[in-house]
Amino acid sequence: MTRTVRNDNIASLGYTLEITEDAARVKPLLDACNLSGPPSHSVGTTFLVATTRAGGVAAAVAWSCVGEGLAVLQSLAVAPSSRGSGIGASQLASAMLHLREELDIEAIYIRADGAAGFFSGFGFEDVEEGTVPRPVANHPVFMDGDGRQMVRRYGEPRRALDHTAFCLIHNTTADATLPVGSVFWFRQSGPALEAQYRGGSVLRGHLLGARDEDKLRFLWQSCTTDGRLLRGEGEILMRVLDDGRRELRERLGEDPGELLLREL
């Protein structure tokens, strides 16, 4: 069974996002990226795929749910022709939101083969040897794979925003150029924080601000595909969800709207 997932950022790149269990459909992409497909003795592999108008697969995230509240991220593959567009990060954001909010996953484990820095930006942390739960340790990715063992755990609130990623959930601000599904990568040092972002017509964006408990004051600037340079300032309020994630909400009054970011 296949169903579509909303991600306006990926749609702006010309792709449709779908969830499928059809491994044969994804195999050509995995072969092109020198990645192996699901092992024959592995069950329950699910793919979040970005498909072209012609039906080809441009990018895919694969995972397995291996126990109550546990998932193993098997691979993140992007076709060479689609790299550099930000599709991989936006697709991983959709996959993480799906695992947490629809499947109630409490911990996502990965073998970060050469991409530990990328995944640490999404809140993944190193796992000590011997502490991986048995259902995860018995998964072929952990039994046969290489690379650092990492996990993104939920239910553990964090104080700082350093090495965290947020996905744009809602954007009804005036002249909104950033689509839903865009990703913000945050860094924090003391009260100072900054974030990088991109999506849709925004080629590059940067946010610089200061945090005072649950209030963030910030300046932002971005460059769009048509060469416009945009900038502004604002204030964001932060609240903690029951599972420890944060939401950042910029309220601009009843008109023109608001912007909502949710931690991955």
pLDDT truncated to tens, each residue of the chain (264 aa)?
678 888 888 888 888 898 988 888 888 887 777 776 555 445 588 999 888 887 788 888 999 998 889 999 988 888 887 777 788 889 899 999 999 999 999 999 998 877 878 888 888 988 887 788 898 888 888 877 677 889 999 987 777 888 899 999 988 776 667 888 999 999 988 889 999 999 888 889 999 999 888 888 888 999 988 888 988 888 889 889 988 899 998 866 555 568 899 999
- Quick one: residue 25, left, alpha or beta (phi over 0 = left, psi -120 to 50 = alpha)? alpha
From the centroid of its chain, how far is CA 142? 22
- Rounded to 5 degrees, φ, ψ at 143 are -70, -40
| Domain limits for position 29 | 3-153
Q: Which two tokens stand for residue 139?
A: 């998964």
pLDDT value of residue 71: 93
Residue among 218, 181, 217 nearest 198 (CA): 181
Q: What is the CATH number of the domain that holds 144?
A: 3.40.630.30
Cα dihedral value 157, 196, 86, 166, nearest 10: 20
Does 144 share its domain with 251?
no
Q: At 24, is the secondary structure helix, strand, or coil? A: helix
Last residue of a domain, one of 126, 153, 180: 153
Residue type, 48: L
**Same domain, yes or no: 149 and 187:** no
* CA–CA gap between residue 185 and residue 161 (Å, rounded): 9
Asked if the structure places residue 159 within a domain, the reply is no
Q: Decide if 158 is inside a domain.
A: no
- Let me know: does 163 contact 126? Beta carbons within 8 Å: no
